Amino acid sequence: MPVTETPRAGSVEVWRLINTTGDGHPIHIHLVQFQVLDRQPFAADQIDTSVSPPQVDKLMFTGRRVQPGDESKRPYLMYEQNAFKDTVMAFPGEVTRVIMRFDLPNGIHVRRGQKFRYVLHCHILEHEDNDMMRPYDVIG
């Protein structure tokens, strides 16, 4: 798949992890630590996953946004409150929003327009073993 995410070095972005599958996926984003902002259920059956990438610009939300610490039905997610993470569980039929800063490692000399390739991927072993990873480029 081509690179579709190109954050600038040092920028802060909010990404939406949209899970249209019936399974939870532990998503790991290389380079960054992030905070979970919230989760929100949506009508996953309304997304056409036969096209790549799926058209998600018209998500139909079916419930309110739930912030970490406000998880009455999933109290085990309390650990996400006020915590920096590098992996987050993306639950089926939910959008998980995370906020992160794309700081490159110390000592890297960055030229304007230079690209640094990183990946995000699911930590389910079968997905990792089959190179199911999404590349993204941090731009200097």
Paired tokens of 79? 């650990």
Q: Residue for token digits 């790549």?
A: 52
pLDDT digit string (tens) for 65-110? 988 877 666 766 767 777 899 999 999 999 999 999 999 999 898 9
pLDDT, averaged across the chain: 87
Q: Sheet of 12-18: strands edge to edge?
A: 12-18, 94-101, 34-41
- For residue 125, the tally of other CB atoms under 10 A from its CB is 8
pLDDT at 93: 94
Domain range annotation of the chain: 12-135
Of 61, 20, 25, 23, residue with least CA distance to 44: 20
Pick the CATH number of 12-135 from 3.40.190.10, 3.40.640.10, 1.20.120.420, 2.60.40.420: 2.60.40.420
Report pTM.
0.87
% of the chain exceeding 90 in pLDDT: 58
Q: Where are the alpha helices (DSSP H) in 1-140?
A: 125-129
